[in-house]
Structure 1
Amino acid sequence: MLILLQVLLQLLGFILLSLSLQRHYNDVFGQTQRPTKQTIRLLKFMGFAALIVAITSAVYTWGSALGLVYFFATASLVASALAMLLAYFGKIKAVIN
């Protein structure tokens, strides 16, 4: 159950960090909308905050040795899944439309 919490927190953090990039923001929200500098800063701050909460909860729950192992293991899983999703999101979106 706690690993699921890690996955969800990291997924939220990585999604927010990827939305702070212009390319991914345009892929998700459309080419006509451009994020403001304040929106980009807010997305980055919230993304890093979610990752800090995830690593803090992992270290608090499992200790420093296992907590860091679980954090980085789930981070690699979530980052790989999100990278594949973002890579093929435009192709899937084009097929649906």
Structure 2
Amino acid sequence: MLILAQILLQLIGFALLSLSIPRHFSQVFQHTSRPTKRTVLALRCGGYAFVILAVIIAVNSWGVSLGLVYSVATATLTATTLTVLLAYISKLLTVVGRGFTPTTK
């Protein structure tokens, strides 16, 4: 159950981090305009917070040595999954970034 929580937290964190890149942001939300600096900062802070929270939970649950191993293993799995999502079905990521509305400039 804890590994599933790791995967979910890291998937949300990496999705927010990838949405902070203007290219992925416009690919997911189908806008030609770039996100504002405030939106990029909020996406990055949220993404790093989720990834750090996942690592902290893993270290508290399994100790430092196994916690870091499980964190890196689940990060590999979630990064690969997110890469496939961005490459083939990027519309699914609109659920993760729904709170960060695209801005027009």
Q: Same fold (TM over 0.5)?
A: yes
Q: CA deviation at 1:30?
A: 1.2
Q: What is residue 75 of structure 2 aligned with on the other side?
A: 75
Q: Give structure 1 regions of 4+ aligned residues with deviation exceeding 2 angstroms.
A: 31-34
Work out the percentage of aligned pairs sharing the same amino acid: 56
Rg comparison, structure with higher value: 1
The CA RMSD over aligned residues, in Å, is 1.1
**Which structure is higher in helix share?**
1
Q: How many residues align?
A: 90
What is the CA deviation profile of residues 46-84 of structure 1, one whole-angstrom value per residue up to 9, with x for unaligned ones?
000000000000000000011001000000000011111
Uncovered stretches (5+) of structure 1, i.e. residues with no partner: 91-97
Uncovered stretches (5+) of structure 2, i.e. residues with no partner: 91-105
Question: Structure 1 length normalisation: TM-score?
Answer: 0.88
The answer to which structure, 1 or 2, has the higher relative contact order (CA under 8 A, 6+ apart) is 2
In structure 1, the residue corresponding to 2:32 is in which secondary structure? Answer: coil
Q: What is residue 4 of structure 2 aligned with on the other side?
A: 4
In structure 2, the residue corresponding to 1:24 is in which secondary structure? Answer: helix
In structure 1, the residue corresponding to 2:89 is in which secondary structure? Answer: helix
Q: Distance in 2 between matches of 1:89 and 1:5?
A: 23
